[in-house]
Structure 1
């Protein structure tokens, strides 16, 4: 059975978990505490980050985008990167937006400061960073809402990796209660559609020791 090394609240690992589930590819998961820097894991991924996917034949792939590109090429049923060149360009643009801009402006200021920093033994949360994260989240929610209002799915007419990336980042923040969904109804409605997909059920069942999600986290109707 293929194996995915992950952390429950890693948005990058969540994106890959969603991609595998949408493609109906069976896999097992193993939590990798990257801050422990295990030698065996470093041999698989010298960057010492999750996710890392190990295929049945031993093929090892690190980095969420490398994994998702591989999955779309190796398992072309249910394409997640779009069908035309224009669609694929837009999907990649939005994936880069959420994995890069959103993560830097919101995720690092909230999820990292409030959760990961403590686990990694890197000191106390930075209050100014947390304030910046909350301030940055609003325009990002507005952008998600605008995309959801003007297109059937974020990148166009069908569900793609752009939706999975956005939902992965937002779901990790939602677990720690940091998303005020009342700020944008269109974004909330899109996320409710995402939460209702079978691929999302394992994420909604995630529980992190010592950290209980808000009641609405696993509630499909908020």
Structure 2
């Protein structure tokens, strides 16, 4: 297999997921800032959507999209499960991944793309600068919604680390670096974030 990596939170989710599972896959770095992902051969041979990350399988086929790649790796390398070993665990993880993606990760990322990241993205995708402030507010609302739900939890989905924790940590860490810090009033999210930041996988990814 080959892992097509780059800067940015999406590839980092997969990298941290692999680190938690003690998986090592050869990497090819793609120059995202230079637009390598938006031109041939990458957007022809690897991902026609021109996005990273991507995982080339042993048969030459390619998987894209963070959750699809992580689900595949979970099935190929079931040790140290990060999605689940039972139908109930897997469903719970997927439920939380979906919630945090829609409520926090997507609006946070687009809030950045449409404001601080505008100069990088305006030539590559449709951008809505007028929506940036609202999207950032939606992400903040999502974090506030989550905060009381994890007041007695060490991890988002309960008593075990999952893809939901990895995804949320990476995007909140990204947000903190681009002008979207966690609301100081969200004490449970702060506690959880600091615990995740102390994990070796956060430094390896």
| TM-score range for the pair, normalised by the shorter chain length | 0.7 to 0.9
Q: Given the two structures, how large is their TM-score scaled by the length of structure 1? A: 0.78
- For the 8 Å contact 2:19–2:204, the answer to whether it is kept is no
Aligned Cα RMSD in Å? 2.4
Is residue 138 of structure 1 aligned with residue 133 of structure 2? no
C-alpha separation between the residues in 1 aligned to 2:20 and 2:173?
A: 16
C-alpha separation between the residues in 2 aligned to 1:150 and 1:17?
A: 28
Is residue 113 of structure 1 aligned with residue 137 of structure 2? no
- Unaligned residue ranges in structure 1 (runs of 5+): 204-222
Corresponding residue number in structure 2 for 1:184: 186
- 1:29/1:168 CA distance change after superposition, 3 Å: farther
- The alignment partner of 2:173 has SS state of helix
Q: Given the two structures, how large is their TM-score scaled by the length of structure 2? A: 0.84
Corresponding residue number in structure 2 for 1:209: none
- Unaligned residue ranges in structure 2 (runs of 5+): none
| 1:91-110 per-position Cα deviation (integer Å, ceiling 9, x unaligned) | 1111122333423433212x
C-alpha separation between the residues in 2 aligned to 1:115 and 1:58?
A: 37
Corresponding residue number in structure 1 for 2:164: 162
- For the 8 Å contact 1:72–1:80, the answer to whether it is kept is yes
Question: How many residues end up aligned between the 2 structures?
Answer: 199
Is residue 38 of structure 1 aligned with residue 36 of structure 2? no
- For the 8 Å contact 1:147–1:153, the answer to whether it is kept is no
- For the 8 Å contact 2:4–2:53, the answer to whether it is kept is yes
